[in-house]
Chains A and B, each alone.
Chain A
């Protein structure tokens, strides 16, 4: 089919060119911005100067950035761990046949399909001082005074993390469930004959078989968690003060609330470096295990 070669590019080129113009070029532009002193005045006047790595130095020294970096780390590690555990337990529950399975599986997907402004608004109310969570905790006598879930110094980060865990359940559930159903049933049957108990089956059959799927779920989950923006923006806008900023919300607020585009870009470049190293990590692991993923 070689003769079609050049005609085939009519099919491929639009996608390639599109992503280069609207995906890759903005990244390059972003990098250039990070090396210039672009703010509202210099941008409007077209007078921005090259300032080398000054934005990066400023950013790295900035305590708000350091806090956001640390927050992103905590947010990612906690989200990922709990999403994984909950998704895995759900996948184990679903790995049986029972009535209404299809319907329940669709319902588990609800957090993924609900628009982010809707789930964000819900959690904003849920965590508010007079909201649902405090309502429950007070009426059950677990706390005496309302906790400031999104209006204090430490808690907001954990509140948005809880919201994000909910949001990510469908993703880890779907991947792990698909992985589980791919394990040949005969393995469990012969283990049953040999008298293996539930734990032995889990440790010697389920986990080794799922290894590639687990790695994929964690790595993709990591990439998708580092870039979370909307949810946090809707619930706390990175506040109160700057205590619940992630790198994503910090860069957005630098750009569109403070109009420090250059500095915002340097935060983005740092965030991108994290994403790129994760992508490379993912590809190298998946490449090695390609044959077993199938």
Chain B
């Protein structure tokens, strides 16, 4: 058999490759844009390859953005800790038990997840301002979590529903406490879903723009997304630095997408389909 079938399958790969290339082309043009001077970026006809590649702008962008890295990490990791700490226990309670407050809680989670960010951020800005919490990492972390907690809970709950209830019952019969069951059975067994939730939560917090833009006015506290936004200056855009910086900033999530594309697919679908 083999050969003919093989070549037919490769033909599909080629067909699918065309739309895929179009879809990822922005990343390619940003990447080569970072290697070009402003004149080359706006050259007509468009350059498909940088004619005189230079590392200058990647270097510049790297040096300018580096101070923002710490803030991005604080926000992303702080958000991750808070999200998992709240979402994992909630997912356990929602997936394995029938609680009176279960349904309302789930409804509120879904509802808040669907809220427009602006609808939460504008009032939160005034509330945080009253508590002198503007320009405070916590304000950004707390606000981002409003959207990542529901997302993570839904993913984790969908997975936990698949863990046999018998396992939990057996542990209870053996005299294990609820917290013991959670730590020694649920947490280890749900590792794949936890990994998915971690990946998606990190991508969301890393990419956040509007919340940091609103709550972190002090430049020394802003994450890289806002650092990049400063390249879009009041009187014109520094395109080379913006493009080079964009690529640097997008590398971590892009790597994750390539290495764990499957997790992203599972996460997005379980979020949408599981009741």
A-side residues, CB < 8 A to B, are 1, 4-5, 7-16, 18-20, 22-27, 29-30, 33, 43, 86, 89-90, 93-94, 96-126, 130-132, 135-136, 138-139, 166, 169-171, 174-175, 178, 216-217, 220, 223-224, 226-227, 229-230, 233-234, 248, 251-252, 255-256, 261, 264-265, 268, 271-272, 275, 279, 286, 290, 293
Contact = CB atoms under 8 A, between A and B. Distances in A.
A284 to B, nearest CB: 13
A206 to B, nearest CB: 18
B44 A110 contact: no
Contact of B172 (A1, A43, A103): A1
B101 A22 contact: no
Contact of A30 (B119, B225, B228, B265): B119
Interface in B174-200: 178, 182
B89 A121 contact: no
Contact of B115 (A5, A27, A96, A108): A27
Contacts of A175: 268-269, 272-273
B207 A99 contact: no
Nearest to B212: A117
A23 B112 contact: yes
Nearest to B117: A229
A114 B269 contact: no
A115 B122 contact: no
A113 B203 contact: yes
A140 B20 CA distance: 23
A130 B253 CA distance: 29
Q: Give the top 10 A-B pairs by smallest Cβ distance, nearest first.
A: A106-B261, A227-B116, A115-B207, A15-B90, A23-B112, A98-B12, A11-B89, A26-B123, A11-B93, A139-B45
Nearest to B142: A22
A271 B119 CA distance: 8
Contact of A15 (B33, B86, B143): B86
B254 interface: yes
B40 to A, nearest CB: 12
B265 A22 contact: no
A93 B19 contact: yes
Given A33-B123, A251-B118, A124 B105 contact: no
Interface in B16-34: 16-17, 19-20, 23-24, 26-27, 29-30, 33
Contact of B249 (A7, A13, A118, A120): A118
B58 interface: no
A86 B22 CA distance: 12
B123 A30 contact: yes
B interface majority secondary structure: helix
Contacts of B131: none
A256 B232 contact: no
A188 B126 CA distance: 58
A23 B99 contact: no
A229 to B, nearest CB: 6
13 contacts: A5-B99, A18-B86, A19-B150, A22-B142, A22-B143, A23-B115, A97-B9, A98-B16, A121-B246, A170-B268, A220-B272, A230-B209, A268-B116
Contacts of B257: 106-107, 109-110, 112-113
B243 A125 contact: yes
Given A12-B89, A124-B237, A272-B115, A118 B120 contact: no
A9 B101 contact: yes
Contact of A22 (B10, B20, B105, B124): B124
A252 B142 CA distance: 19
A118 B228 contact: yes
A286 B16 CA distance: 32
Contacts of A97: 9
A172 to B, nearest CB: 10
B92 A121 contact: no
A1 B119 contact: no
A36 to B, nearest CB: 11
B275 interface: yes
A113 B108 contact: no
